[in-house]
Structure 1
Amino acid sequence: MSFVIRLKYFFEKYGFHVSSRLADKLGMRANNVRLFFIYISFVTAGLWFGVYLTLAFWIKLKDLIRAKRSSVFDL
């Protein structure tokens, strides 16, 4: 068996066990706990992309307000 497949089986065996134990403690289904972690990972990745777009917009707006003109005749 190749190393990648053994690594996959290892994470499936012990990684999914974490979410099932957490679900047992919370009294939920393990499927819902796994979906929650997936949704949270997308939300956090999307949050930082939104922050990036907001900062890019502010920098563009600052450049539009403070135009760099070398003389009065550039108006």
Structure 2
Amino acid sequence: MKRLQYFIESQAFGVCTALGEKLGFATSSIRLSFIYLSFLTFGSPVIVYLILAFWLNLRKSLRRERSTVWDF
């Protein structure tokens, strides 16, 4: 069970963790809120989650390519 939890948390883009660090909330409460909202709104937060995951991945790739302003 722990291996499955670790795999899901490491492969799930880190959106909840990033939101928790940015807003100062516990990651577990953000995950629970996401799950509850997904059930209440018939899965529409999944689209928001995927958009945030894309945005975070884009930011990571841009930071990786250019380390300084002078790199071309």
Normalised by the length of structure 1, the TM-score is 0.42
Structure with the larger helix share: 1
